[in-house]
Structures are given as structure tokens and as C-alpha cells.
Structure 1
Amino acid sequence: MTFGGLPTRWEPTGESRGVALVAPGRAYSPAAPLLEFSRRALLQHGFTVQQLWWDSTTRGEDEEPEQWVRRHVEAAHAEEEADHVLVVGKSLGTRAASYAAERGLDAIWLTPLLVDPVLAEGIAANAGRQLLVGGLVDELWDSAIARELSDNGCDVLEIADADHSMGTDDAVRTAEIHLEVARAVEAFLSQI
């Protein structure tokens, strides 16, 4: 499978232990650093990776963002026959939280929109293992909600100087933050 000539599916070396559905952000493609590092970690841990590529400008005016994301994730999930399905979402892609909760899917939420009560409730309702990653400079991250979710079993990585792209104005510090995120994703995958 390809999107604009780019591959969208990768198989691990050896037998797959499940499928990871990667739901990108509004303007943050699956090829962007956080999702690319996640793809590599997923393959390293034996997951097949299926990326969703979308143009968020195609969402109709009468369709809420959560419904739109759910529709895409549900369609990708329906094509999979794996016993273990994991969802990785970045920003807009984290609107799949209620879908993941309804199915008890493990999930990695990169910069989840915790200021949205519906999204936070979806994460809280999920019986699956979850990792949340966010920064204190991100206006869409809510530290109090992140603490509550951590107290209820979610793994949380919160970085003081990171914005919504998990970066800063400093290129080296941004690379360091991305390394912290990659390590958190790798550690999370080692535990599931």
C-alpha cells in the first residue's frame, strides 16, 4: 500500500505480534519525527505498522473531528485480522481515544488534546495499556488531567519545555526531547 508514492504499511522481521494503526495529526504526517520514531520502535517490537494518511481538509462541515477520525481508524481496523491491535495517535489522531476505549485497545497518545473533556474521558475509559506524551508549553495539554490519568494507570511522559510538536525553538533541545519520547515509546512497548 502506498500514499502519494510513500509506503503506508511495514511488516516486522519475523512473525508479527499484532498491528499498530498510526493516526496522524491535522498537519503532522506519519512521516514526521514522532510518528517515524514510533514506527521504528513498533517494528523493533514485532508489530506490523499500518499508517493512516489523510487530508483533514476533506472533513465535511457537518462531521465532528472525533467522528471523522473514528471513521478512518475503524475502517483501517476492519481490514486487520490481528489479535492484538494498538493505536498510535498524534494530536488530531488522538480523537480515536473513545474508539480505542470501546475495544480496550492499547494506545500511545502523542500530544493528546487533553483540554477536550470528551477525549480525556475516552482515555480514562480505556482498559488497555496507554502511554500519554505531552509538553507543558502545549496549550492543548492539561497537566492536572494527565496526573489523574496517570493515577488511574496510564503511563505519562510530560516534558516541561515542549510545545505541541514536542519541540522548542532550539534545534538541539528539540532533538533531545524527541529522544526522550522515543525512549518512552520503546519502554512502553517493552511492557506490553
Structure 2
Amino acid sequence: MTFGGSPTRFEPSRASRGLALVAPGRAYSPSNPLLDFTRVALLQHGFTVQQLWWDTTARGDAEDPEPWVRRHVAAAHAAEDADHVLVVGKSLGTRAASYAAERGLDAIWLTPLLVDPAVAEAIAANPGRQLLVGGLADELWDRAVARELADAGCRLLEVTDADHAMATPDAVRTAEIHLEVARAVEAFLAGLPGRPAA
């Protein structure tokens, strides 16, 4: 799937407390529900939001996805000047975990690719605050790895019947799951230091 063009930026209604870099999935754009609800929560909590929109067909099969994602995230980060930077990644975007770990950046990982040891090890190595969100019906989610990361200090939302889109075949249940995710994101952001005055 092809996503169009340049990054999209959103400013909070008050002074910004930091920058959130949003790295989407391969076929899950920033306008899809999980990332859009997260954008709203970030703005509500005073973050400037920089969404990355990418054309994954431009990567080609020969290029390793991790350096490709890192390159996009690094370019967006370099273009900004912010004291507090938070990374939000969905699926393919969670391959930015090594970039976040090297810099100790706080992160929200939506359906991280925990079956890939490189992603799991990068999350484990990150000294920043992290939220992991996944479902047991997602074949790219590893429950044992998620529990180890939670024991090491990551916050965790694990939904029994959710797939890789944090969805089910039932529309109402999917909406309920998305509400659970929004509440987890809200609680995570509320717990970060430096929360601005309302």
C-alpha cells in the first residue's frame, strides 16, 4: 500500500511539552483508528505530533526494514528541537525500537513485532518509559516475551481476542478494544513527568 507524501504535524492548543514521532505500520496509516486516537490523546496531553507517512513499496524486498524505518524516524527527529521526545510505533513502525533505545526515548508500541528478537531486545534495552499494546490473536505477538518486558518495567495492555489490528470480526467488540487501548494510552501519558497545566 502506498501512503502519500510528507510528514503531517499537529500542534497542541497550549505550549508544547514535547514531540511525539508517529511511525505507522506497513498497511496501517496514521489515519487508522489506533494511531488517530493516540494522536488525539497526545495533543490532549500537550505533545506536538509529527506523523510519518511512508510508501513501503519504495523500500523493496532487498532492504532490511529496520534501517529503513530508523532512517525515516531519524530524519523526522533531526528536523525538530524538543527536550522530550516520545516515539509511537505500530507494527512495522515498532522497528524504530532500537532507535528509541539508543536515545532512551519514551515509547508507545502498538502491536510490536515481539516474535522478532531484534525488536524485543531493543524494547528490553530501552531505559525510557514504554507501553506495549497487543492481542493474543495476533501471530506477531509473543505472550511470554510481553510478560518478560512487563516484568522489566514496561506497561502492558494485552487483549485476549484482539488480532494484529487490535480488532475482531465483531464491530462492537472491536470498538470496545479500541476504547481499552485509548484508556491505556491516556493513563500512560498522564503518568509521564512534566505534564503541563490545563
Q: Measure, in 1, the Cα distance between the counterparts of 2:7 and 2:78.
A: 20
Q: Which amino acid aligns with 2:38?
A: S
Structure 1 residue 5, shift from structure 2 partner? 8.4
1:63-106: per-residue Cα shift (whole Å, max 9, x none)?
20001000000000001100000000000000000000000000
Q: Which residue of 2 aligns with 1:18?
A: 18
* 1:164 aligned partner: 164
Q: TM-score, normalised by structure 2?
A: 0.93
| Residue identity matched to 1:25 | G
Q: Find the aligned partners of 2:61 and 2:23 in 1 and give their Cα distance.
A: 21
RMSD over aligned Cα atoms: 1.3
Paired amino acid for 1:66: E
Structure 1 moving runs of 4+ over 4 Å: 3-7
**Per the alignment, do residues 81 and 160 of structure 1 end up closer, same or farther by CA in structure 2, a change over 3 Å counting?**
same
Q: Secondary structure at the match of 2:120?
A: helix
2:184 maps to 184
Q: How many residues align?
A: 190
Conserved? CA contact 2:137–2:163, under 8 Å = yes
What's 2:145 paired with? Answer: 145
Identity of aligned residues (%): 79
SS at match of 1:50: strand
Distance 1:67 1:7 in 2: 18
Maintained 8 Å contact 2:4/2:53: no
CA separation of 1:120 and 1:176: change in aligned 2, threshold 3 A: same
Q: Which runs of 5+ in 2 are unaligned?
A: 193-198
Task: Report the TM-score, using the length of structure 1 for normalisation.
Answer: 0.96
Residue 48 of structure 1 aligns to a residue whose secondary structure is strand
Structure 1 residue 153: Cα displacement? 0.3
Q: Does 1:108 align with 2:108?
A: yes
